Amino acid sequence: MGTNVGIGLMVMAATIYMVRALPLTLLKKEIKNPFIRSFLYYVPYVSLSVMTFPAILHATSSFWSGFAGFAAGIVIAWVDGNLFRVSIGACLAVFFVELWI
């Protein structure tokens, strides 16, 4: 079991290293293509969203309370934008839907 974990860690480390080091070694000039620049600009936001969205829906005891918290967070963020109010509103939405279900 320990050998498999070590091999897995080495494969993951090599993969991450290649993904990060290859662009630095292959791309010597600044990227001037607006499409590629725009694509690379939004990659971190999309990656974070893809990892966060399923966790939001499955963090509560039911799908609907997670969805209610997500929807409340979006609406409050759209109207107000204050992170503290968004988190409190999302938590309250989850709480009340959990009480109702």
Residue 92 and residue 85 in contact, taking contact as beta carbons nearer than 8 Å: no
Tally: H helices and E strands in the chain: 4, 0
Q: CA–CA separation, 85 vs 5, rounded Å? A: 43
| Domain segments of the chain as ranges | 1-30, 33-100
pLDDT at 52: 85
pLDDT in tens, 2-51: 678 888 889 988 888 887 787 777 777 887 888 888 887 888 888 888 88
pTM: predicted TM-score of the whole model, two decimal places: 0.58
pLDDT in tens, 46-86: 888 888 888 888 888 889 999 999 999 999 999 988 899 99
pLDDT at 1: 53
Q: Is the pLDDT of residue 91 over 60?
A: yes
Q: CA–CA separation, 91 vs 89, rounded Å? A: 5
